[in-house]
C-alpha cells in the first residue's frame, strides 16, 4: 500500500511540475530567475521572481541552487537565457528549404560572418513571416553560437541543479513577454533599456520581424532620466527601416521596459516625438503576480520571465 501511495505521489508531483517552469538568466552582475505556474482557466502566475547579486567567493550557480532548494523548486523544468555576447543573430535571405532544413542550409551562408570555425558552430534558425520578403525573397534569422559557449550554459544549468529544457535568446524571450502582456495583432515594439544601451524588437502575431541593438547614454539608475533625444532617434530609425525597407505597417504601440525604466520617465516630449503610442510595458496585463514580488525585481528579471513564458515546453 505504501509503495502504491508513493507512486501516486510521484505521479501527482510530476503532473504539477509539468504545469510550471523556471526561467533563468545568468549575467555578469548576478543571476535572475522567475517561476511561472500555468493555471487551466487563468492567466499565468508569476509565483517567484528574484535577482541574486554576485557574492564574492560564491558561484552564481550555487546561489541559485540554494535559493531554489529553499523554495522547493529543484527539478522543475527550466529554460535558460543565453547572454547576448555568447551568440550572433544574423538576418539574411532564406534558402528555399523547409523549416527542418533551414539551420543546416544557412550554415554555409554565414561561415564568413563568424569569428570561429563554422565546424564549431551550433546553429538554429527561423523564418520571418512571408509578408516580410524583400523582392520576393523570404528572410530568415540564424542564431549562431560556438559549441563551447552552449556547453558552458549547460554546465551552469547542471551546477545550479536545473532540469534544463531549452536554451533561448533575449530577442525571443522578449517576444514571449509581448505575446503574453500585449495585443500583438497589429504589431508592437518592445524596447528594453539597460546601462549603456538597449534593444528593440518588433513583434506581430507572435512573429519576430525586426531586432536591433543600439548604444544609449543611460546609466539605469533610479534617478537617471531617459536620454530623450537619443532614444527618440533610435526609435525613429527602427520604425523608418521597418516601414520603408521592410514595407510593413508601423506597430500600433511602443512599450518600454528595463532597469529603472518607470512611467514617469517617459516624458511628454518623448511621447510627442514618435508617431505611435509609447507606454511602459505592464506585466500585470498578462500575468498574475504573487504577493511580495518587489517591482524592482521585475525589471531585473525580464529575460528570465520571458524565458519561463515559452509555451512549447509546458505540457
Confidence of residue 137 (pLDDT cuts 50, 70, 90): confident
The CATH architecture annotation of domain 183-280 reads 2-Layer Sandwich (3.30)
pLDDT at 15 over 70: no
Three-class secondary structure assignment of the chain:
CHHHHHHHHHHHHHHHHHCEEEEEEECCCEEEEEEEECCCCCCCEEEEEEEEECECCECHHHHHHHHHHHHCCCCCEEEEECCHHHCEEEEEECCCCCHHHHHHHHHCCCHHHCCCCHHHEEEEEEECCHHHCECCECEEEEEEEEHHHHHHHHHHHHHCCCEEEEEECHHHHHHHHHHHHCCCCCCEEEEEEECCEEEEEEEECCEEEEEEEEECCCCCCCCCCCCHHHHHHHHHHHHHHHHHHCCCCCCCEEEEEECCCCHHHCCHHHHHCCCCEEEECCHHHCCEECCCCCHHHHHHCHHHHHHHCCHHHCC
Mean pLDDT value of segment 132-158: 89
Kindly list the domain boundaries of the chain, sorted by start residue.
87-148, 183-280
Same fold, 87-148 and 183-280: no
Position 4 pLDDT exceeds 60: no
pLDDT digits (tens, 9 = 90+) for 81-112: 999 889 999 998 899 999 999 999 999 889 88
pLDDT tens track for 108-128: 889 889 989 999 999 999 999
Paired with 136 in beta bridges are: none
| Domain topology for 87-148 | Dna Ligase; domain 1 (3.30.1490)
Amino acid at each position: 500500500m505504501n509503495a502504491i501511495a508513493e507512486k501516486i505521489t510521484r505521479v501527482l508531483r510530476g503532473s504539477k511540475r509539468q504545469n510550471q517552469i523556471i526561467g533563468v538568466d545568468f549575467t555578469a552582475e548576478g543571476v535572475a530567475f522567475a517561476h511561472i505556474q500555468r493555471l487551466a482557466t487563468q492567466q499565468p502566475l508569476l509565483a517567484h521572481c528574484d535577482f541574486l547579486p554576485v557574492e564574492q567567493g560564491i558561484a552564481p550557480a550555487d546561489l541559485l541552487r540554494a535559493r531554489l532548494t529553499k523554495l522547493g523548486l529543484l527539478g522543475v523544468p527550466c529554460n535558460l537565457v543565453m547572454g547576448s555576447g555568447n551568440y550572433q543573430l544574423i538576418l539574411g535571405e532564406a534558402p528555399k528549404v523547409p523549416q527542418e532544413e533551414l539551420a543546416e542550409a544557412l550554415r554555409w551562408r554565414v561561415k564568413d560572418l563568424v569569428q570561429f570555425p563554422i565546424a564549431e558552430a551550433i546553429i538554429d534558425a527561423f523564418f520571418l513571416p512571408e509578408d516580410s520578403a524583400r523582392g520576393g525573397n523570404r528572410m530568415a534569422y540564424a542564431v549562431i553560437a560556438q559549441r563551447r559557449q552552449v556547453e558552458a550554459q549547460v554546465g551552469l544549468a547542471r551546477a545550479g541543479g536545473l532540469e534544463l529544457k531549452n536554451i533561448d535568446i533575449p530577442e525571443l524571450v522578449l517576444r514571449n513577454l509581448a505575446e503574453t502582456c500585449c495585443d500583438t495583432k497589429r504589431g508592437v515594439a518592445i524596447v528594453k533599456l539597460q546601462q549603456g544601451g538597449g534593444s528593440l524588437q518588433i513583434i506581430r502575431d507572435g512573429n519576430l520581424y525586426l531586432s536591433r541593438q543600439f548604444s544609449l547614454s543611460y546609466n539605469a539608475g533610479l534617478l537617471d532620466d531617459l536620454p530623450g533625444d537619443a532614444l527618440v532617434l533610435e526609435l525613429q530609425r527602427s520604425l523608418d527601416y521597418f516601414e520603408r525597407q521592410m514595407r510593413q505597417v508601423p506597430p500600433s504601440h511602443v512599450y518600454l521596459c528595463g532597469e529603472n525604466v518607470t512611467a514617469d520617465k517617459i516624458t511628454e516630449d518623448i511621447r510627442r516625438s514618435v508617431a505611435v503610442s509609447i507606454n511602459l510595458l505592464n506585466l500585470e496585463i498578462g500575468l498574475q503576480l504573487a504577493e511580495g514580488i518587489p517591482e524592482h525585481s521585475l525589471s531585473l528579471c525580464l529575460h528570465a520571465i520571458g524565458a519561463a513564458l515559452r509555451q512549447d515546453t509546458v505540457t
